[in-house]
Amino acid sequence: MKKILTVAAAGLMMMGATTTAMADAGEKTFKMACFACHGTGAAGAPKFGDKAAWGPRIKKGKATLYQHALHGFKGKSGTMPAKGGRTDLSDADVKAAVDYMVAHGQ
């Protein structure tokens, strides 16, 4: 029984480390690539932490947010270029940045 609990605890610790690493990657990508628009509101981008601007977008679901961030989107209030114009970013990095912005926009 003790061995099972030890293995379960180790698994939970690894999950926590993975979540922290993903959050760190999201923040890093945001600062490196997304801040130019989402930090200033350029091109109609919802500003980081602006709950009123992010709320309706978040309600559409992460799948939609990922789709727009990865492949671009032209809406009523602005334009989102695919990967924010940074085609060198991996899909995982873009998704981590979306997750980071969503977490601060709720």
CATH code (residue 65):
1.10.760.10
Band (63; pLDDT cuts 50, 70, 90)? very high
pLDDT value at residue 7:
47
Give the chain's domain count: 1
- 39 part of a folded domain: yes
- 57 part of a folded domain: yes
- 9 part of a folded domain: no
- 37 part of a folded domain: yes
Indicate whether 5 pLDDT > 50: no
pLDDT, the chain, mean: 87
Q: Which domain holds residue 32?
A: 25-104
pLDDT value at residue 2:
59
Is residue 67 left, alpha or beta, with left meaning phi > 0 and alpha meaning psi from -120 to 50?
alpha
- 31 part of a folded domain: yes
- 12 part of a folded domain: no
Model confidence pLDDT, tens digit, residues 18-59: 556 656 999 999 999 999 999 999 999 999 999 999 999 999
Cα–Cα distance for residue pair 8/42, rounded to 1 Å: 46
- 48 part of a folded domain: yes
Band (16; pLDDT cuts 50, 70, 90)? low
pLDDT value at residue 21:
63
